[in-house]
Structure 1
Amino acid sequence: MTTTDASPKGKAVQWEDVRLPAWVIGIMGGIALVAFWWLISTIFLNPSGRQIIPSPPDVIGAYITTGWDYFARNFSVTLVEAGIGYLWGNGLALALAFIVLLVPRFEGVAMQFAILTYCVPIVAIGMLAVVLFPVPKAGEPSGTAVFLAALSVFFTTVVGALLGLKSADRSSLDLITVYGGSKLTQLRKVRLIAALPAILNALQIAVPAAFLGAVLGEFFGKIEAGVGLAMILAQQNSDAPLVWALALASGAVALAGFALVGLVARLIAPWSKGAQK
């Protein structure tokens, strides 16, 4: 289908030629999603006539009623736990990837270990972590939450780092070898540069994974504050709007962290996103 107007060059303008800015598409998608959510909340009711899914005004009311301090207190604890787990999990994953490159014989064992951490149900690991880590004191992060946050990012970072490190140009590696360079020199001069985009992508994916791992860890650990504890209390009180408010706020925080690491990655390695230096 074409319009009756013609372009300056005399060609008919087609609908598929119209390109909207990305932010306009994002706003339209958000409005459509909220409208669909509102519609679903009015349709699905329990036998007593109460809403099973809270409407957007109900969730907004939960934010206003609960107050900023409540969310800030709980999210600050979870963010600390996720941040510590993020650093530990990614640090150990990168160290393991570098060791595998320097000592290739360890690759089979390293990959089996990484796959094991990914395949074992995190719920089962959480139950074990409760026994391993002591009950945190007031104001201290939960060891269980930190451990599960680190575990949640380990596999993806190991795989991403290894794929990136192995993607280095073979001729450049051979040149270093000809001039007497060691594998460590290859790692520093060639492999790290070649692997930087893949490593940064893995670190970006690890942000929401670490936050999710920390929240799951709070379901098991004995803590006094945190997003996981807040969700449990809201569920026990049958406060569905507050549960949804916490869930949506968690998604927003994870998305903000994902976008922040993506921005840092673009600044450090602009070629990885197709940008010009």
Structure 2
Amino acid sequence: MRAFRMPGWASSLIGAVAIIAVWWLASIIVPTTGTYAPVPSPPAVLETLVTDGIGFYWPNFSVTIAEAGIGYFWGNLIALILAALVLIFPFLDGVINQFAVITYCVPIVAIGPLAIVILGGAKTAGDPSATAVFFAALSVMFTTIVGALLGLKAADKAALDVVAVYGGSRLTQLRKVRLIAALPSILNALQIAVPAAFLGAILGEYFGKIERGVGPILVAAQVSLNSPRVWGLFLLCAIVAIIGFAIVGLIGRVIAPWSAGTKAGV
């Protein structure tokens, strides 16, 4: 008897419906204080999103997306270069792994003020904040370094030996064998780095010196206890992160279809 396998879209739909149902139930159960509802109902949040309109959200989200994109590019580029250096110069393995752990463990609250003092914020309203870009780049390094190293070190030893026998250097092994073998792991790491970069950019905006962005309007909504807007911003942030995650995943399937368990051309 063939086991029933639920399509991916169906499980995603059921999960979304379940989350909305739990959210709606929580909005009924959690007590309100006067007109303030800590957990607003989904219709109330949707009404706030429609009332605020794209003219309010897009100018702020576009800044944060730009910061996340810049940080994502530079953070991943540095991480991939560091991972490649480990394969060319093995004695750097411990140093680079420690650096990756530090980028993951360092308390953002502690280095946030330093980043503001050194890098500053946005020069003019609407420009990306250097601090937000820095935190976006910092947020992706650990995942990408670890994912790239795992993939690069998992290359077939026989293929590496063939390259070495024919006089190939470590750099040749990296280009001819390791990069191809590591491509699925690298693409998975890059996919996971998308929401991390977006979150890092928002955290960077929390330290101030920026007039536009998700961070400032989120802080303003919190201060004014505008819970429907806070929840609406949470939903929009989740949607942006999911879209970015899906886009990188789609690119990964096109570049390396075998990583998803499918055959090229199918």
TM-score, normalised by the number of residues in structure 2: 0.95
How far apart are 1:49 and its partner, in Å?
6.9
Question: 1:245 is matched with which residue?
Answer: 232
Tell me whether 1:193 sits opposite 2:180 in the alignment. Answer: yes
2:88 equivalent among 93, 102, 114? 102
How many positions carry a matched residue from both structures? Answer: 263
Tell me whether 1:135 sits opposite 2:121 in the alignment. Answer: yes
Any gaps of 5 or more consecutive residues in structure 1?
1-10
1:17/1:177 Cα in 2 relative to 1: closer, same or farther (>3 Å)?
closer
CA contact (8 A) 2:37 2:227 kept: no
Question: 1:181 is matched with which residue?
Answer: 168
In structure 2, C-alpha distance between the alignment counterparts of 1:194 and 1:170, rounded to whole Å = 11
Question: 1:89 is matched with which residue?
Answer: 75
2:241 equivalent among 250, 254, 276? 254
Q: For 1:149-198, what per-residue CA distance to the aligned partner results, in whole angstroms no more than 9, with x for missing partners?
A: 00000011001111111111111111111111111110110000001000
In structure 2, C-alpha distance between the alignment counterparts of 1:49 and 1:143, rounded to whole Å = 39
Q: For 1:212-269, what per-residue CA distance to the aligned partner results, in whole angstroms no more than 9, with x for missing partners?
A: 0000000003111000111001111111000110111000100110011000000000
2:206 is paired with a residue whose SS is helix
In structure 2, C-alpha distance between the alignment counterparts of 1:238 and 1:152, rounded to whole Å = 29
Aligned residue identity for 2:107: P
CA contact (8 A) 1:42 1:51 kept: no
1:225 is paired with a residue whose SS is coil
Calculate percent identity across the aligned residue pairs: 58
Superposition CA RMSD, Å: 1.5
1:20/1:107 Cα in 2 relative to 1: closer, same or farther (>3 Å)?
closer
1:18/1:100 Cα in 2 relative to 1: closer, same or farther (>3 Å)?
closer
Question: 2:191 is matched with which residue?
Answer: 204
Tell me whether 1:53 sits opposite 2:39 in the alignment. Answer: yes
Question: 1:233 is matched with which residue?
Answer: 220
In structure 2, C-alpha distance between the alignment counterparts of 1:49 and 1:233, rounded to whole Å = 18
Aligned residue identity for 1:192: L
Question: 1:69 is matched with which residue?
Answer: 55
In structure 2, C-alpha distance between the alignment counterparts of 1:184 and 1:171, rounded to whole Å = 16
How far apart are 1:113 and its partner, in Å?
1.2
CA contact (8 A) 2:75 2:138 kept: yes
Tell me whether 1:216 sits opposite 2:203 in the alignment. Answer: yes
In structure 2, C-alpha distance between the alignment counterparts of 1:206 and 1:70, rounded to whole Å = 27
In structure 2, C-alpha distance between the alignment counterparts of 1:26 and 1:186, rounded to whole Å = 41
CA contact (8 A) 2:121 2:131 kept: no
How far apart are 1:19 and its partner, in Å?
4.4
In structure 1, C-alpha distance between the alignment counterparts of 2:230 and 2:180, rounded to whole Å = 44
1:156/1:21 Cα in 2 relative to 1: closer, same or farther (>3 Å)?
closer
Aligned residue identity for 1:89: G
Tell me whether 1:275 sits opposite 2:257 in the alignment. Answer: no
Question: 2:8 is matched with which residue?
Answer: 22
Deviant stretches of 4+, over 6 Å: none
Q: Structure 1 stretch 136-145 or stretch 22-31: which is displaced more? A: 22-31
CA contact (8 A) 1:114 1:158 kept: yes
How far apart are 1:17 and its partner, in Å?
5.1
Q: Structure 1 stretch 247-256 or stretch 117-126: which is displaced more? A: 117-126
Any gaps of 5 or more consecutive residues in structure 2?
none
Aligned residue identity for 1:248: L
1:220 is paired with a residue whose SS is coil
How far apart are 1:35 and its partner, in Å?
1.7
Higher relative contact order (CA 8 A, sep 6+): 2
